[in-house]
Structures are given as structure tokens and as C-alpha cells.
Amino acid sequence: MATDMPVVKGAFGDTPQIEFPSEQAPQGLKVVELEEGNGPIVRRGDTVTVNYHGQVWGNDKAFDSSFERHHPASFGIGVGQVIKGWDQTVPGHNVGSRLLISIPPQYGYGANGAPQAGIGGDDTLVFVVDIISTR
């Protein structure tokens, strides 16, 4: 069983490159702060603006990336507007932070997955999230 998180190349603002240490994802919901920002802290109920890059564990291509679209996303955090893994890991971090999040299915899209995005029901998702602003 692997407990290592992926290696991320690129700094805050750069499109990340994710390298997986093994074929097996770690168990449970994991978050690592790759860079600590010095802006305001994100709180549950805030509207947060982020850039993000999401891959299925072990895949070499993103299933979704606001970095690649060159358009950040904004949404309520901690209030059920996004997957549970984001609601539980993004609050408490500062604006300017870069997070690496490993999200097992029960905190992502569940047993049904998201077939339109190529996500299976047993896939672990990996996101790199740059927190741009919060209000």
C-alpha cells in the first residue's frame, strides 16, 4: 500500500505537472500544502476563486484543468457546491497557497464516478489547487 503523494512540478500560477510515485493511491482524503500563501484564510461559506488541475490517480492527462482553459473557477466552498473532498480540504488555507489533494471516490464522485469526464467509480482523484482569492 502506497502512502506517498505525487510529486508536483511548477510553482503557484504555473500549470502543474503531476508525477505519481506508484500505481496505488494512498488511503483516505489527503492534502499537502505545497506553497503557503500569505493572504486571507479561506473559510467555509466563502466564495473562493481558484485555478485547478485534476487527474485520475496514475493517468498522465488531466480530466479537467482551469489552468489549461486559462480561466479560474469561482464557487462557494464548504457548502456542497463542489465535491466533498474540496469542501473538506480547501477551507483553512490562505490565499496564495498551492494545495495537492488526493480524493478517494467517497469524497469525489462516488461509486458512479463521472463517466463523461473519464472518471470511474473506484478512481482516486488528484488535484493541484492554487487559491487566488476568497470573499
pLDDT band at 121 (very low <50, low <70, confident <90, very high): very high
Is there a contact between 6 and 56 (Cβ–Cβ < 8 Å)?
A: no
Percentage, residues of the chain above pLDDT 90:
95
pLDDT band at 83 (very low <50, low <70, confident <90, very high): very high
Q: Residues 6 or more apart from 123 whose CB is under 8 A from it?
A: 56, 57, 105, 108, 113
Q: How far is CA 104 from the centre of its chain?
A: 11
CATH classification (class only), 7-134: alpha beta
The domain segmentation of the chain, as residue ranges, is: 7-134
Model confidence, pTM: 0.95
